[in-house]
Amino acid sequence: MGRLKPWPKFYLPFMLLPFLLLIGFAQAQQSYVDNQQLACEDPTKDNNITRGYLCNGEQRSCQSYITFRSEPPFYNTAVSIAYLLGAEAMQISSLNKLSADVSPITAKSMVVVPVNCSCFSGGNGSYYQHNASYTIKFDGETYFSISNDTYQGLTTCQAMEAQNPINFRELKVGNELTVPLRCACPTVRQTQGGVKYLLSYLVTWGDSISAIAETFGVDEKSLLDANELTEQDLIFPFTPLLVPLSKEPTKIELPQASPPSVPSPQIPTDPVEESKSSKKWVFIGVGIGAGFLLLLGLAGFLFCFCRRQARPIASPPPKPPSQVKPSSDSANYTGNSWSSISSQGVRYAIESLTLYRFEDLGAAAGNFSESNRIKGSVYQGSFQGDAAAVKVIKGDVSSEINLLKKINHTNIIRLSGFCVHEGNTYLVYEFADKGSVSDWLHSNKFQTSFTLSWKQRVQIAYDIADALNYLHNYINPPYVHKNLKTSNILLDVNFRAKIANFGLARTFEDNDEGGLQLTRHVVGTQGYMAPEYIENGVITPKLDVFALGVIILELLSGRQAANAEKNSGGEELLAASIEGVLEGDNVREKLKNFIDPSLRPEYPLDLAFSMAQLAKNCVAHDLNARPSMSEVLVTLSKILSSSLDWDPSDEFQRSTSLGSAR
Ligand SMILES: *[C@@H]1O[C@H](CO)[C@@H](O)[C@H](O)[C@H]1NC(C)=O
Ligand SMILES: *[C@@H]1O[C@H](CO)[C@@H](O)[C@H](O)[C@H]1NC(C)=O
Ligand SMILES: *[C@@H]1O[C@H](CO)[C@@H](O)[C@H](O)[C@H]1NC(C)=O
Ligand SMILES: *[C@@H]1O[C@H](CO)[C@@H](O)[C@H](O)[C@H]1NC(C)=O
Ligand SMILES: *[C@@H]1O[C@H](CO)[C@@H](O)[C@H](O)[C@H]1NC(C)=O
């Protein structure tokens, strides 16, 4: 199919005639792009036809519809299509009668997507559009490949270039682009004719005006008219046509689309014989089609030649993920995209996750008002009387959802549902009554005489290790959290810890080659990041071991993981300080000074020593010197059981019996 892409050029002579005729049509609605979107380089094709549909409607904004064909592996679920098109997953699944929002949609089947369409004035024109946003994922993506391949022709390279400040030569992975999707609102004349909505339909191989009109149950004449087309005009694959609808569209049932070997555009028909022309149509189609094939080769050659001279717009579409090394966080997409997960994980997901309606979510969270804000972009909500936390995240967080929906561990925050709305994801979590560990250790938020007790602190460390041990060793594939810190450890009403914020979590596979996973994209919080990660981007479970070591030190000392140093202006890392405490003379005194003053003297010094020793091993510079999470858990379980037996009243005798160092 790819080799056929130049064929449209060939039709040029056929297009010209009707075009000339068109000038006579004064009452037209919107101009068909007529394959001009292929010529990204040609300044004469950067005009008010390729840039968008003109704001000539009765209203400046309206409900409209666009179509999209399910495209595995990325864009084949209501949720992933909603992300791509800036639409709402819930609306997509209900309109298209999809059983579940994360279940895959058969490849190439057509999905109708409701969007808000509005008039945008900018540059030299006003165009109707629905904004989506897209972040470049692969090397070699261009405005053309994004508009034609990723968005299937819902936008044009001309419109994208006009609305994005980035020069086409400078596009690179990670750029966030505005994608103006073509949509339109009915004109006065259409409204008078009973048209309520316009749907942007994507023409595909083998389509004809009559077939499209039939699919949507509309009059051929009104379809032609809506696009300033005449019966003689040709239509081209990967271009949108406006379909005027008098009522809301419903699920479109199409025969399984299989690309025909010969493209069969709408062949000029004799208007007189129109009604009984279908047989003849095919006949002419085949005849002319065969003739075209010859010329196609020639045209193709010329076209490619011109292309090469212009710029590599027709560079191959983004490679399927299997060919992309999962070397950065964004490539997390690959192994764990919605689609691949859905085969195994989806049943559980359907049962366990609620897909919320945005309105319901807003109502539950006080319309995201300031008074409902817990912190940052996290809001408190109430769902049928149950408290929940709603976190608002920009963009695609399917990897976090995919992970959390598979997890069932009391020490990992439970995700109960989500909603995708206007490019944001709203994640609904169980509510942690007592806030975060960092609130208790470092802020004055709970300005009371209450402090976390020794037993609570040990329990918290144990709970975290328990959850991490589960992540590292008991799920398949195993995960590294990568972003552990006391502000991500939440406490429930009984002060039991729950790990939250899995936005950076990623899988690691114990591959046989023994290769380490590396990332160039080092993100994290100062003070918690292991040296090999900062320096070389090495990702192993030992990252979490290091961070847990830091958390244990915070629990012991009440100090911050990284503190602005008073004298030198640099930063003092808690992880670096423990060595000095446990080495040399006077360990006992040094340790006592290290321990959080608000605990004193209510803690067993020998157990504190064991904790400190464990933490020190966890933050060892050499990752191989750090214990595994299962070893950490075993040590912590011993300390925990001793702590639970410990009675504060006999502390004095015990602590005095502790030698300088064991
Ligand atoms: C916009 O205006 C500039 C100059 O004013 C012109 O060169 C360009 O062709 C116009 N673009 C469109 C799409 O009309
Ligand atoms: C579209 O552009 C053409 C020429 O570039 C101009 O004559 C025409 O007035 C424009 N139409 C609108 C509605 O701006
Ligand atoms: C469209 O706009 C309406 C009202 O302005 C809003 O309720 C609805 O959620 C919007 N839909 C989408 C998909 O953004
Ligand atoms: C446009 O995209 C389609 C499929 O997404 C592809 O088959 C076609 O070759 C592309 N057109 C060009 C000119 O690259
Ligand atoms: C769409 O994006 C353009 C920038 O390209 C912006 O100016 C415009 O306000 C956006 N429209 C809406 C409705 O968000």
348: pLDDT confidence band, cut at 50, 70 and 90? very low
Mean pLDDT of 289-317: 35
Q: How far is CA 644 from CA 453, 459, 585, 602, 637, in A?
A: 11, 9, 30, 13, 10
pLDDT at 512 over 50: no
Report the range of poorest mean pLDDT among 111-115, 397-401, 410-414. 397-401
Average per-residue pLDDT in the chain? 77
Among residues 207, 229, 255, which one ends one of the domains?
255
| pLDDT above 50: residue 471 | yes
Residue 419 sits in the same domain as residue 513: no
Instruction: Return the best residue to mutate from 48, 55, 124, 228 for the ligand 2 pocket (most ligand atoms within 8 A of CB).
Output: 48
pLDDT at position 403, please?
80
Q: What is the pLDDT of residues 563-604, one digit of tens each?
A: 866 555 567 889 999 998 998 888 889 999 999 988 877 888
Asked whether residue 318 is assigned to any structural domain, the reply reads no
Q: Quick one: DSSP state of residue 320?
A: P
Most confident of 19-28, 155-164, 394-403, 420-429: 155-164
Residue among 37, 124, 126 whose CB has most ligand 1 atoms within 8 A, to mutate: 124
- Does residue 150 belong to any structural domain of this protein? yes
User: Given 379, 403, 430, which residue is the final one in a domain?
Assistant: 430
Residue 193 falls inside a structural domain: yes
Residue 48's Cβ-count burial label (10 Å; 0-12, 13-18, 19+) is: middle
Q: Which residue CA neighbors atom 7 of ligand 4 most closely? A: 2
pLDDT for res 446: 56
**238 pocket-lining for ligand 4 (C-beta < 6 Å):** yes
Asked whether residue 394 is domain-assigned, the answer is: yes
Predicted confidence band of residue 255 (pLDDT cuts 50, 70, 90): low
Residue 312 lies in a domain: no
Q: Are 353 and 416 in contact (CB under 8 A)?
A: yes
Range(s) of the domain holding residue 421: 328-430
Q: Among the listed ranges 184-188, 395-399, 529-533, which one has the minimum average pLDDT value? A: 395-399
Assess contact for 304 and 3: CB atoms under 8 A. no
Asked whether the bond before 531 is cis by omega within 30 degrees of 0, the reply is no
Counting from 1 in the atom list of ligand 3, the atom nearest the Cα of 114 is 13
Q: What average pLDDT score do residues 470-496 get?
A: 92
Q: What is the pLDDT of residue 654?
A: 52
| 246 and 108 together in one domain | yes
Predicted local distance difference test score (pLDDT) of residue 178: 93
Q: What is the pLDDT of residues 176-207, one digit of tens each?
A: 999 999 999 999 999 999 999 999 999 988 88
Are 211 and 105 members of one domain?
A: yes
Report how many domains make up the chain: 3
- Please check whether residues 443 and 590 belong to one and the same domain: yes
Same domain, 109 and 137: yes
The answer on pLDDT for 236 being more than 90 is no
* 165 and 108 co-located in one domain: yes
From ligand 3's centre to the CA of 97, what distance in Å?
20
Counting residues of the chain whose pLDDT is more than 70, the rounded percentage is 74
Q: Does residue 317 sit within a domain?
A: no
Per-residue b or e along 401-427, where b marks 16 or more CB atoms closer than 10 Å to that residue's CB: bbbbbbbebebbbbbbbbbbbebebbb
Same domain for 54 and 137 = yes
Q: Which ligand is nearest to the CA of 237?
A: 4
The CATH number linked to 401 is 3.30.200.20
Q: What percent of the chain has pLDDT over 90?
A: 40
| Assigned domain for 183 exists | yes
Residue 142 near residue 171 (C-beta atoms within 8 A): yes
Structure confidence at residue 343 as a pLDDT band (50, 70, 90): very low
Which atom of ligand 5 lies at the shortest distance from residue 118's CA? 13
Residues 84 and 118 in one domain: yes
Atom of ligand 3 at shortest range from CA of 116? 1
Among 191, 223, 255, which residue terminates a domain?
Answer: 255
Going by C-alpha positions, the residue among 39, 78, 33, 661 that lies closest to residue 420 is 78
Q: What is the atom index within ligand 5 of the atom nearest the CA of 116?
A: 13
Do 414 and 430 form a contact (C-beta atoms < 8 A)? Answer: yes
Q: Do residue 405 and residue 421 come from a single domain?
A: yes
Asked which of 62-71, 104-113, 337-346, 476-485 is least confident by mean pLDDT, the reply is 337-346
The pLDDT, as a whole number, for residue 352 is: 57
Q: Are 517 and 508 in contact (CB under 8 A)?
A: yes
**Residue 4 belongs to a domain:** no
Please indicate, yes or no, whether residues 100 and 229 belong to a single structural domain of this protein.
yes
